[in-house]
Amino acid sequence: MALIPFAACLMSLGCLAPAHPPASALQLTTHDTAGRIGAVALTCDPAGGTHPKRDKACAVLSAAGGDFSRITARHQACTLIYAPVDVTATGTWRGKPVSFRTTYANRCEADRDSDEVFAF
């Protein structure tokens, strides 16, 4: 087995580790009209953080390419009671900055329309 000299290895870039997409790290918050505030950390690639459904949240975001506006809502009926919930997501998704903010009509809609990404 021939050994490649260190200088040749560096010049060919053949000794570098394969590139992996950067991990994703997000801070998610909710705030409702009753004054309840929730905040969790979510990391993906690998899934981690304080989100109670981190594996599912990472899968949902992966399917949407990290774009919160492209999340496919779950099929679920919600009441028409207006109790707004403000949500935010900030951080990075595979190296790209994320800044998302919206208001859902109530907690049920927030959980349904985010496919449980904001269910905490």
Q: Is residue 40 part of a domain?
A: yes
Q: How many domains does the chain have?
A: 1
Count of helix runs (H) and strand runs (E) in the chain? 3, 5
Q: Is residue 30 part of a domain?
A: yes
Note the pLDDT tens digit of each residue in 65-120: 999 999 999 999 999 999 999 999 999 999 999 999 999 999 999 999 999 999 99
Q: Is residue 19 part of a domain?
A: no
Note the pLDDT tens digit of each residue in 50-78: 999 999 999 999 999 999 999 999 999 99
Q: Is residue 54 part of a domain?
A: yes
Q: Is residue 38 part of a domain?
A: yes
Q: Is residue 120 part of a domain?
A: no
- Pure H helices in the chain: 6-12, 54-63, 107-113
The pTM assigned to this predicted structure is: 0.79
Domain of residue 89 covers: 24-114
- CATH number at 60 reads 3.30.350.10
